[in-house]
């Protein structure tokens, strides 16, 4: 099953990390290592972690790095075979049958039947498309925890054997092994069968140094000192018990805002007046302000709670 002649894409873990850095994705040791392993073992990666830590971005960046086409399957409740795998183009089939009917000496029914269940009438959906692609592709199955447990079974064949069985056509085997990423926000426990087929990667909030670096690369024009302060404040915020901790994308937004406002150094006042960019719940903002300033009145001004 693995003899499809796909060459390893990466030389070493270091090569993955440097490559990702070139496309502006700062991977830590774990992320780079697992991407490298997934390539070598030809296994999909299941990426889990809090929202906004760059799970989807990882797949995009790997695609950019390898020069592969990104095929994306966004999962949602009620996703089924005809949207994920393939579908017969029945309107076209109908036209074909009707076109044949007019002529008296036309082809027999058997011929028509084999004809209408051929490649021409097949609508490929993301999963099948990734399998049949001739060029290198990266397949991203986004938010896989949104589909029902039963629908997960659709993915199993493709994840373990890189093939799709179509009853009328037979089995389509991958011409090249695509790199597959599955992301999950962990709203439910995924089935054992799915997890077993994947490498598991938990992407957490980055540590302070990495976050600072991310801010520096992603926000052009930001000064080193400001990036440092942003990373520090965000780290301290994440240690509080909040309803929703600030994500990486939110700290980037915050850094951009500060830059637009022309802020050189963050003081308590700017922090509290722009806190709504980092924190999305009124109660979180109130809590953070209470924690960070001894001045209780300030907290009340900026966070008028319901009671």
Partner 1 sequence: MTDTRSPMLELLSGFISELREAGLPVSLTENLDAMEAITHIPIEDRDAFKYALAATLVKNHAHWRAFETVFEVYFSLRGGHHAIGDDTDDLAQLLDDMEGEGDQGNEGEGMGRGGGGGDALTPEELAELLYQALMQGNDALLRAIARQAVRRFAGMEPGRPVGGTYYLYRTLRNLDLDAVLDKLMQQTRDKAEDQGNPLSPLEERLEEDEFRIRIESLKKEIEAEIRRRLVADRGVEAMARTLRKPLPEDIDFMHASREEMVGLRKALYPLTRRLAVRLARKRRHGRKGPLDFRSTVRHSLSYGGVPAEPKFRYPRPHKPEIFVVADISGSVAAFARFTLMLVYAISHQFSKVRAFVFIDGVDEVTSFFEGVEDVTEAVHRVNTEADVVWVDGHSDYGHAFEAFWEKYGKEIGPKTTVMILGDARNNYHASQSWVVKEMQHRARHVYWLNPEPRSYWDTGDSIVGEYATFCDGTFECRNLRQLEKFVDHLA
| Three-state DSSP class for residue 278 | helix
Positions in 47-66 near partner 1 (CB under 8 A):
48-49
- The one segment of 95-103, 117-125, 167-175, 200-208 that binds partner 1 by CB under 8 A: 200-208
Relative to beta strand 122-124, strand 86-88 is antiparallel
Q: What is the spatial distance between Cα 296 and Cα 290, in angstroms, rounded to a whole number?
A: 7
Say how many CA atoms lie within 13 Å of 260 toward its Cβ: 7
Please return the burial class of 217, using the count of CB atoms within 10 Å of its CB with bins 0-12, 13-18 and 19+.
Answer: middle
Element (H, E) at 170: strand 170-173
Q: Nearest approach, Cβ of 120 to partner 1 (angstroms)?
A: 29
292 near partner 1 (CB under 8 A):
yes
Q: What's the CA gap between 222 and 256, in Å, rounded?
A: 8
What's the min distance (Å) between Cβ of 236 and partner 1?
Answer: 5
Cβ proximity to partner 1, 201 vs 248, nearer residue: 201
| Distance from chain centroid for Cα 189 | 18
Looking at residues 91 to 130 of the shown chain, list those that interact with partner 1 (rule: CB under 8 A): none
Taking residues 244 to 283 in sequence order and writing x for each that binds partner 1 by CB under 8 A, - otherwise, the string is ----------------------xxx--x-----------x
Total site size for partner 1, rule CB under 8 A: 49
- Contact status: 163 vs partner 1 (CB under 8 A): no
Per-residue exposure over 15-45, b if at least 16 CB sit within 10 Å of its own CB, e if not? ebbebbbeeebbbeeebbebbbbbbeebbbb
- State which of residues 27, 46, 159, 215 lies at the interface with partner 1 (CB under 8 A): 46
Residue closer to partner 1 (CB basis): 154 or 266: 266
User: Which residues in this chain contact partner 1 in the complex, by CB under 8 A?
Assistant: 13, 29-30, 33-34, 36-37, 40-41, 43, 45-46, 48-49, 77, 148, 186-189, 192, 195-196, 198-202, 229, 232-233, 235-236, 239, 243, 266-268, 271, 283, 286-287, 291-295, 306-307
């Amino acid at each position: 099953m693995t003899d499809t002649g796909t060459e390893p894409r990466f030389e070493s873990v270091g090569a993955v990390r440097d490559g990702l850095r070139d496309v502006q994705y700062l991977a830590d040791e774990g992320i780079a290592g697992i991407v490298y392993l997934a390539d070598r073992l030809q296994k999909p990666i299941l990426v889990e972690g809090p929202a906004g830590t760059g799970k989807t971005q990882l797949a995009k960046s790997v695609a950019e790095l390898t020069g592969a086409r990104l095929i994306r399957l966004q999962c949602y409740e009620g996703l089924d075979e005809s949207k994920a795998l393939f579908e017969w183009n029945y309107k076209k089939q109908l036209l074909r049958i009707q076109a044949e009917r007019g002529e008296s000496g036309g082809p027999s029914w058997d011929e028509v039947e084999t004809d209408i269940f051929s490649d021409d009438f097949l609508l490929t959906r993301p999963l099948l498309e990734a399998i049949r692609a001739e060029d290198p592709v990266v397949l991203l199955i986004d938010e896989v925890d949104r589909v029902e447990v039963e629908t997960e079974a659709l993915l199993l064949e493709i994840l373990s054997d890189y093939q799709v069985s179509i009853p009328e056509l037979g089995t389509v085997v991958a011409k090249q092994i695509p790199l597959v990423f599955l992301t999950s926000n962990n709203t439910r426990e995924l089935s054992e069968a799915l997890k077993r087929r994947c490498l598991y990667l938990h992407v957490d909030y980055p540590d302070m140094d990495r976050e600072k670096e991310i801010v520096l690369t992603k926000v052009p024009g930001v000064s080193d000192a400001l990036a440092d302060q942003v990373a520090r404040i965000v780290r301290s915020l994440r240690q509080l018990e909040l309803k929703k901790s600030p994500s990486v994308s939110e700290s980037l937004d915050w850094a951009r805002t500060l830059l637009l406002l022309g802020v050189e150094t963050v003081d308590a006042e700017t922090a509290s007046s722009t806190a709504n960019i980092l924190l999305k719940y009124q109660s979180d903002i109130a809590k953070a302000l209470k924690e960070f300033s001894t001045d209780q009145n300030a907290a009340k001004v900026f966070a008028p709670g319901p009671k």
